[in-house]
Structure 1
Amino acid sequence: SHFVSRRSRTPPCPGPILPAMFAVPRAIAQRIAAQRPVVSRAAAPALFCRGFATHKGQCHCGEVHFEVEGKPDWSAICHCSICRRTHSAPYAELCGYKPDSVKVTKGAESLSMYNVHGKSKEDRYFCKVCGSKVYSMLNHLGCKAVHLQNLTSPNHGADGKLHDDFKPSCHIFYASGTITNLDALPKFETLPEAFGGDGKQLPNDFHDTR
């Protein structure tokens, strides 16, 4: 792809696999696939093939720069109340990586960490100069969640859209949200089974019928 630079001697991809961090049995993966809307077979939570591309990102002011290695293990649109409140937005677009796949390359001294009352499962890192969020450490899942809108070139094409590697595969905590989204992605009441949820899905117009 002309959007990303790849390392030399990239081994052939062994085929789609589930993120090892979730260790989901094949039977569960099959149930997730079966939950996909018939009209959009590409909409189910993605089973990514691991690559070796390096992608770059930064905070709003540019004081903090970071890199992520390879394709994300998952990518989702979160409607939970915490994400809505911390982003001052109706939802947050996130992608997940193993901790050592996310590296701050500039401005580490400008990063500040926030944990609600020191009891939250998430450590949220943001730039203390401009206040924009950089990533969150999800301690209960053992991964880092990167905010998609902080990714910069070469992740965007000429049309300004994110590279396909980062496109969200589903909505999570849709029941907690406040707006209707009419895309073809599955909308989980809480979480898909691969993330430890019950996999219950909601209709697009869930918020219009309450």
Structure 2
Amino acid sequence: MADNPTNPKPSQAASFHASCFCGKASFEVEGKPLFSLYCHCTRCQRIHGSPFVHILHYNSKALTWNHTDPNALLAKSHPHTEWKEWRCKSCLGIVGNESPAGDRWSLKGALFRRDAVSGVIENWHFIRPTGHIFYDTRMLDVNDDLPKWESMEGTSKRLDTDTRA
């Protein structure tokens, strides 16, 4: 019996392929992320035009660019953050954010490759979010069993789902 490619054995290292909307900027990351969370911060809300975003942080060594065009990416610095934003030059979709030291990447879960039939992100169980961060600035309540944090997971106050800060 062949292994299910979307549910490999726990001992297997997961590899994730992702790309921007048009596919001209693409990358691969190896292994589990440092963390995988839903972010409700006002910066993510404004940049993405969304109530919250699925973010995954990886060490830079885990990321490999796959696109063939060396000019596929545009880098942009923002005055309100030290992280550098990388976008596809063609569709202008955000591909990820690089830490100031260049040692870590913040990637968006929605960019990760999905199963062609089910539409579920491949190897989802490896990157499933473990909580909500900056939940006190949420635009809507989320009714799930994940912990909700005032700011960063584990280092801030845990909020009840029915409490507004």
Q: TM-score, normalised by structure 2?
A: 0.85
Runs of 4+ in 1 over 3 A off after TM superposition: none
**Which runs of 5 or more residues in structure 1 are unaligned?**
7-11, 14-50
Cα deviation 1:94-134 (Å, max 9, x = unaligned): 111101111111044121111113x6221111112111111
C-alpha distance in 1 between matches for 2:28 and 2:163? 37
Find the counterpart in structure 2 of residue 170 from structure 1: 131
1:49-80 Cα deviation digits (max 9, x unpaired): xx533211110011111111112121000000
Name the counterpart of 1:159.
118
- 1:144 positional shift: 0.6
Mapped pair 1:52 → 2:13: yes
Percentage of identical aligned residues? 25
Contact map agreement 2:71 2:89 (CA 8 A) in 1: no
Output the amino acid matched with 2:5: F
1:116 counterpart residue number? 78
Counterpart CA distance in 1 for 2:70 and 2:42 is 28
Aligned position for 1:100: 61
Q: Which residue of the partner structure matches residue 46 of structure 1?
A: none
Q: Contact 2:60 / 2:102 at 8 angstroms: preserved in 1?
A: no
Higher strand share: 2
Decide whether the 8 Å contact of 2:18 with 2:113 is kept in 1. Answer: yes
The residue identity in structure 2 corresponding to 1:58 is S
> Is there any run of 5+ residues in structure 2 with no aligned partner, and where?
none
Please tell me the residue identity of whatever aligns with 1:127: C
Which residue of 2 is the match for residue 144 of structure 1? 105
Number of residue pairs aligned between Structure 1 and Structure 2 = 159
Q: 1:64 to 1:5 in 2, by over 3 A?
A: farther
Aligned residue number for residue 131 of structure 1: 92
Q: 1:140 to 1:189 in 2, by over 3 A?
A: farther
Structure with the higher fraction of residues in helix conformation: 1
Cα distance between partner residues in 1 of 2:134 and 2:41: 5
Q: Does 1:206 align with 2:163?
A: yes
Q: Please tell me whether the aligned partners of residues 14 and 126 of structure 2 are also in contact (alpha carbons under 8 angstroms).
A: no
- CA contact 1:55–1:67 (8 Å) conserved in 2: yes
Q: Is the 8 A contact 1:77 1:92 kept in 2?
A: yes
Equivalent residue for 2:148?
A: 187
- Tell me if structure 2 keeps the 8 A contact 1:169–1:185: yes
TM-score, structure 1 length as denominator?
0.68
